[in-house]
Amino acid sequence: MEEPLIPVVPMSHTAHIRSHRKPRPQSASKIALKAGVAGGILSTVAVAGASGSAFAAEPVTQTIELPTLTADLAAQVAQSADVTQQAAANYELQAERDAAAAQAAKEAKADLAEAKKKAEARKEAAEAARKAAAERAARDADRVSLSASTDNYVTPPASGSVATVIAFLKAQVGDAYVMGATGPSAWDCSSLVQAAFRQVGVDLPRVSQDQSTVGTEVSLSNLQVGDILYWGGKGSAYHTGVYIGNGQYLDAANPSKGVVIQDLSGYPASGAVRVL
């Protein structure tokens, strides 16, 4: 005898999930709370829907300000960059002007010091000339007789001295050498010698050849301050200067040196003459 078949009811594939089980009964207060919340939400949705419907027919005309603000900001940044660049350029220009002004001031100060130095030297020369008469008495004991030759004779100065000649020469140190120039700030060798002795009334020839023949010839081993030195043959000398003592002489040397004081040992003279 066969057993009766028992129908098998298939189980839902979600039967194991809690939410598909039979809900537990809720209290009346919880049901009322949920109903209120739901009602509020529905009311809000309804109002929002109504508002949307009311304005749906009207086009939106409000302009968004963000692009305008962004453009303005870009313009402000560009303007700020231009201002910064201009300020930097102004600072650089001012720095260059300050540097140029400082250099000009430095050069002007140096020029002023040099001018003051020369002015003082010239003042000393003038002072020496005023004292020439008193100094001449001391020099007379050492002065030798001048040549009696008509061509070479130089009249002794009525006043003046070697000190005056040397003071004048030293006041010209630093002046330029220019061939043919006769002062007051540029000389050649013979014009400087001529101008120096003119301070004490001695009228020397203008050129070196003739200056080498005036006065009394003296030995280079017996030089005295104020003796005229010459280079080259007597009567054909190509350069002259004045001995200032201590183995040194002063001359308008050449265009590169100008008026300078030099050691006689470095460029020995050919001969010397004495007119004071």
Give the model's pLDDT for residue 132: 60
Name the strand (E) or helix (H) holding 72: helix 66-130
276 residues of the chain, pLDDT tens digit each: 555 555 555 555 555 555 545 555 555 445 444 544 444 544 444 444 444 444 444 555 555 555 555 667 767 767 777 788 888 888 888 888 888 888 888 888 888 888 888 888 877 776 766 666 555 545 444 443 333 333 443 444 434 589 999 999 999 999 999 999 999 999 999 999 999 999 999 999 999 999 999 999 999 999 999 999 999 999 999 999 999 999 999 999 999 999 999 999 999 999 999 999
Beta bridge partner(s), residue 228: 242, 273
User: Taking a C-beta distance cutoff of 8 angstroms, is the pair 254, 135 a contact?
Assistant: no
Give the model's pLDDT for residue 180: 96
User: Taking a C-beta distance cutoff of 8 angstroms, is the pair 274, 211 a contact?
Assistant: no
Beta bridge partner(s), residue 240: 230
Give the model's pLDDT for residue 35: 46
Long-range contact pairs involving 261-270 (C-beta distance under 8 Å, separation at least 24):
261/170, 261/173, 264/229, 267/231, 268/220, 269/220, 269/229, 269/230, 269/231, 269/241, 270/230, 270/231, 270/232, 270/233, 270/234, 270/237
Give the model's pLDDT for residue 97: 87
Beta bridge partner(s), residue 126: none
Cα 181 from Cα 186, distance rounded (Å): 6
Give the model's pLDDT for residue 2: 53
Burial of 154 (0-12, 13-18, 19+ CB in 10 A): buried
- The reported pTM is 0.47
Give the model's pLDDT for residue 101: 85
Give the model's pLDDT for residue 87: 81
Look-up of token digits 């660049």: 85
Beta bridge partner(s), residue 249: 243, 262
Give the model's pLDDT for residue 117: 83
